[in-house]
């Protein structure tokens, strides 16, 4: 019998299987006429910096924007911003007139600016409404109150 402290025989010890030896691969063969990429021997001369290139010319020229449409939008914005001053609020009236004229002209001219003309017309009408409201609140209402107070002060009662 064998000594229990001695290592067992090689036949009784299970061992992990050994990996197969690495395969030897040949380098890939290039078809005739190809081969390794050719690297240029020298770099070309460096070009001086210039402005970046644009995207090119558009396929068709842009239509010209109608000037009355722009003026309509500007007048309407000025009229609505300054509607409390009443005098500058009248710029909204000019915005409405210019807006309607430019809408009429845009139907036949083929110019751009329909959105600006429509926005100028709508904002202009809102400016006219605000200007009229401010006129009533700042001029007519105080005048009517003043007349009412003066009328009440001059009333005499007789018995």
Contacts of 122 (CB under 8 A, 6+ apart): 76
As a whole number, the mean pLDDT across the chain is 80
Write out the two tokens for 127.
């400016």
CA 93, 96, 101, 102 torsion: positive or negative?
Answer: positive
| Residue range 60-95, pLDDT digits in tens | 788 899 999 999 999 999 999 998 888 888 899 999
Q: Which residue did the predictor score with more confidence, 45 or 121?
A: 121
What is the model's pLDDT at position 40? 60
Count how many residues are written for the chain.
Answer: 159
Q: Which pTM value belongs to this model?
A: 0.57
Q: What are phi and psi for residue 9, nearest 5 degrees?
A: -65, 160
């Amino acid at each position: 019998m064998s000594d229990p402290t001695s290592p067992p025989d090689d036949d009784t010890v299970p061992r992990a299987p050994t990996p197969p030896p690495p395969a030897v691969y040949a380098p890939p063969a290039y078809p005739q006429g190809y081969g390794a990429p050719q690297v240029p021997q020298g770099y070309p001369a460096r070009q001086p910096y210039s402005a970046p290139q644009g995207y090119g010319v558009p396929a068709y020229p842009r239509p010209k924007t109608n000037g009355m449409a722009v003026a309509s939008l500007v007048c309407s914005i000025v009229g609505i911003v300054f509607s409390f001053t009443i005098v500058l609020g009248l710029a909204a009236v000019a915005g409405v007139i210019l807006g309607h004229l430019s809408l009429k002209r845009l139907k036949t001219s083929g110019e751009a600016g329909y959105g600006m003309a429509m926005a100028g017309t709508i904002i202009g009408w809102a400016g006219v409404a605000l200007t009229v409201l401010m006129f009533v609140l700042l001029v007519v209402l105080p005048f009517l109150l003043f007349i009412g107070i003066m009328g009440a002060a001059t009333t005499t009662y007789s018995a």
